[in-house]
Structure 1
Amino acid sequence: MRGQVLGVDRNGREGRIAGDDGQRYWFEPDDWSDRTGPMVGAQVDFEVSNGRALRIYHVPGTVAPRPAADPARPRPRKDKVAAALLAFFLGIFGVHRFYLGRVGSGIAMLVLTCTLVGIFVTSIWSLIDFIRYLVMDNDEFHHRYG
């Protein structure tokens, strides 16, 4: 069967393929039969067994899409102390939220800061974030903000 790679989880342990039959199939890294490995958007040919894609190959002649996240090369970890310091010194502008990848709440803090009442709200919000980051366990912090 043919299909397209939809994605691979952050740890690279499992991924999904949308088959040409409209069904979705899961796979693991060991299911790949070529050296290239999974790439999001790649056109692939595979066999199916109980909802699992097996013996997966890239379709020859298709354009090579952007590679999926490489599990051997993890994303850079965010520093807990840096986030806390940003929250303390620049927190009313939401800089710590942008740093941690929480763009929506960062924009909300930035917009709130434009009003007099909002400055008070974002001051308290950033102080709570500052304290929360410092007392949070390192593993929990990296799990949340990876």
Structure 2
Amino acid sequence: MRGKVLSFDNYTGQGLISGDDSVRYSFSQADLMGGARSVAAGTTVDFEGSDGIARSVYVLHTGLADKNKWIAALLTFFFGVFGIHKFYLGKTNAGIIMLICGTIGWILVIPGLAVAFISFVELIIYLFKSEQQFHDDYVAGDKSWF
């Protein structure tokens, strides 16, 4: 059966799926198949459902809430010192910090150099993380730095 993920909590490992049959099914992280460790709300999944419990949950199509690591890497490369990649990933506070340090921070030199170094390190990390690790850390998780 197919359905859409309504919610998934990375900390408890519990989630809820709305099936095509209009029934809601609960699932746990152990039910995720195909190497997935987390799933975003809005993701289309295929699963075996019975008695309100989903088993063997396979991700078919990620929802619009997912962010692409390659776009984040490009934004980091071109606009990293301004924190644009942080805003793209939904990490607004980190984005504001980088924006301030990347613009008026150059007056003191050190803050500007610091955000340039941070954006370079983050670019390397984004490029070498797998899609799943990137999603787990920066999209589903609340990792804002490195």
2:80 to 91, 99, 122: 91
Is the helix fraction higher in 1 or 2?
2
| 8 A contact 1:78–1:100 mirrored in 2 | yes
How much has 1:74 moved relative to structure 2? 4.5
How much has 1:78 moved relative to structure 2? 1.2
1:124 paired residue number: 117
Larger radius of gyration: 1
Distance 1:71 1:137 in 2: 19
List alignment gaps of at least 5 residues for structure 2: 1-5, 25-40, 45-60, 140-146
How much has 1:133 moved relative to structure 2? 0.2
List alignment gaps of at least 5 residues for structure 1: 1-7, 16-27, 38-68
Runs of 4+ in 1 over 3 A off after TM superposition: 69-74
How much has 1:83 moved relative to structure 2? 0.7
Q: Which is worse superposed, 90-99 or 69-78?
A: 69-78
- Over the residues paired in the alignment, what is the CA RMSD in angstroms? 2.9
Equivalent residues in 2 for 1:34-73 (5 A)? 35=22, 70=42, 72=44
- Three-state SS of the structure 2 residue aligned to 1:101 is coil
Q: Give CA deviations for 1:67-111 in whole Å, capped at 9, x if unaligned.
A: xx5554743221111111111110000001111111111111011
Percent identity for Structure 1 against Structure 2: 31
